[in-house]
Amino acid sequence: MATKSRSSLAPADPNSDDSITLGEYLTSWLELCEGRGLRPASIASYHAMIRITIAPRLGHLQLKDITPNYLNGLYQRLLRDGRKDGRGGLSPRTVRYVHGILRKAFADAVRLGYVEANPCLAADPPSARAAKARQFPTWSPDDLRRFLESVREDQHYAAFYLAVASGMRRGEVLGVRWCDLDLEAQQLSVVQCVIEVAHAVRVGPPKSERSRRMIALDAKTVAVLAEHKRAEEEKRLKRGGRLAPHELVFAHHDGSPDPSSVLLTDIQSARRNCTRPSDPLPRPSPHPCHACSPGARASENR
């Protein structure tokens, strides 16, 4: 990013000849986003994209001088050779994400009077169709049974089972506390999740308000979670304590939250271990809930 920075954004002074560069503006714009309460993970993602893809190429230009042609040139360069490791271009999906960040930033620049029009509205980023998310193959009922059987002795078995049975995201599973889980009523409340920001593990709110929800649990999932609770209670009693309501159901041995990448690493390892040469288990989505079809989950839960 640019070395010169402004601590906050205020409405532009039309009588001032002090010009602000795109890099300077984006640095202050990120602070504005933080003040709005944007999720830390989103802030970190925006910051990384600006630092790696935007600032080195356009950050030195005056904010008011940015045109749709400048942006189109940026998108073309990123598609051609935008990778940080120098091994080719970024995906259309990533470049469209960069465009989305700039579009939001320039919308605020227009509102605050720094520019008269948003150049992103006339730019040509990769189309939504070109930027469509990668489609991962889903697991069949047999695939799901093979996977769950292979991880039955894994320390994260109950977390894996809850993820594939409920459709929860990895961070949501790891964010469940004992007080969020009602085994007698066979239900679970999603009120927080574990996220990783700049290699730091944090507990925060769900991805969106719609993510706050109550999930009904089938009898088999309840049995798996009940067994997990009994095992955790035994471990705690041996250390002379008891499980506390606000402790995480799935946590590190010291009670701290596990990073969601741990579950993904274990899933990939287990998939390789249970793959047959003649019948390989498809590589799943980064979220276990997307790895199997609803039919596969229903079959396993019967």
- The pLDDT mean for the chain works out to 87
Of the residues 61, 93, 122, the one at which a domain ends: 122
In a domain, 136, yes or no: no
| pLDDT tens digit sequence for 249-275 | 999 888 899 888 888 788 778 777 776
Give the span between the Cα atoms of 143 and 145, in whole angstroms: 6
Q: What is the CATH number of the domain that holds 284?
A: 1.10.443.10
Whole-structure pTM over 0.75, yes or no?
no
One domain for residues 93 and 146: no
Percentage of the chain exceeding pLDDT 70: 86
Structural contact between residues 78 and 95, judged by C-beta atoms closer than 8 angstroms: yes
Torsion region of 167: left, alpha or beta (phi above 0 gives left; psi -120 to 50 gives alpha) = left
Q: Are residues 289 and 156 in the same domain?
A: yes
Residues 151 and 235 in one domain: yes
User: Which structural domain range is residue 153 located in?
Assistant: 141-301
Give the rounded distance of the alpha carbon of 116 from its chain centre: 34
The H helix count followed by the E strand count for the chain is 11, 5
Q: Which of 49, 40, 56 is nearest to 105 (CA)?
A: 49
- Residue 17 domain-assigned (yes or no): no
Residue 57 located in a structural domain: yes
Q: Is 10 inside a domain boundary?
A: no
Task: Say how many domains are in the chain.
Answer: 2
Decide if 58 is inside a domain: yes
Percent of the chain with pLDDT over 90: 57
Q: What CA–CA distances, in Å, run from 75 to 81, 82, 139, 146, 205?
A: 10, 9, 36, 43, 33
Are 66 and 150 found together in one domain? Answer: no
Residues 153 and 87 in one domain: no
Segment 198-221 shows an average pLDDT of 91
